[in-house]
Copies of this chain bind each other. A is one copy, B any other.
């Protein structure tokens, strides 16, 4: 039984993680930490967990974790995460970090986009990006894994194989993403106040969203040259789910959309959580699951890729459990199907 500790356990991703782990045969939640709510049972924060999990929220203490935790999930915000992850990793605790602190290639990128110091510069750039379908071996062997961003997951998963196969060009890729409101976190803000965002759709962070460099840096590892992504996220009045509509140029005039579909199908043939098919994805079809649904269509001279995930599962906590399963040599689908 793997003993689990979750740092920063009161937000939505931690909550989803808890629910997934409750259905996992080999995991047992032993520590939940919260700076604000420590001392109260978790079901005070999340009444839906009554009768399901009887664990007290505590302050994070590295000695305590060192003795009692085999696998830590760190659900802290960026910049607040790396100091904790460093402590955990330095004590040899295998850690999956939900923040963006270890996702970018280098310190300069991190500082430019996050305008913060990094407490663990040595590891930055050496931590595998937590998409097992792309880096399974590295994840298996690593002490720390950088759980991927929700939007990047929807774009990297279809783009990586197509770039590697040389079927599409890396320049002028447009990623138009639509997300449910849980992506904004659990802290009340006017933008996420029900009567403000219900019955409305809007774009936000146009040209400034921090997932842009993440998408570009990660996909560049597959393209062999520069990738330029124009990314615009939108807020949709629903709880969960991300749909990304991705407009790409094909590399060669004589290829067809069937080539793209065949390439993706082959690449993900044995993957339990990727469904490449002719069906146009919808967020409802992946809601509550760890699936990433993908299709490709032809629109004029471009190919249009549509991909969908549940932002809280494959876009966060499901991916984290999948990473844990890989790291600990378990059945990769355990707790997820």
Contact = CB atoms under 8 A, between A and B. Distances in A.
Contact of A176 (B12, B176, B198, B241): B176
A252 interface: no
A306 B299 CA distance: 21
Contact of A280 (B48, B206, B272, B288): B206
A254 interface: no
Given A188-B189, A198-B198, A48 B181 contact: no
Interface of A: 12, 22-23, 47-48, 50-52, 172, 174, 176, 178, 180-182, 186, 188-190, 192-204, 206-207, 228-232, 234, 236-241, 243, 245, 247, 272, 275, 277, 279-289, 291, 297-302, 304, 306, 308, 337
B50 A202 contact: no
B234 A237 contact: no
A198 B243 CA distance: 14
A332 to B, nearest CB: 14
A74 B123 CA distance: 57
A46 to B, nearest CB: 8
A247 B234 contact: no
Contacts of A285: 47-48, 200
Which of A189, A196, A197 gathers most chain B CB within 10 Å?
A: A196
Report the 5 A-B pairs with minimum CB-CB distance, sorted nearest first.
Answer: A200-B284, A202-B282, A188-B188, A207-B299, A48-B285
A186 B190 CA distance: 8
A241 to B, nearest CB: 7
A280 B203 contact: yes
A199 B280 contact: no
B195 A193 contact: no
Given A190-B188, A194-B237, A207-B299, A202 B232 contact: no
Contact of A201 (B178, B231, B291): B178
Contacts of A207: 297-300, 304
A238 B286 contact: no
A337 B51 CA distance: 11
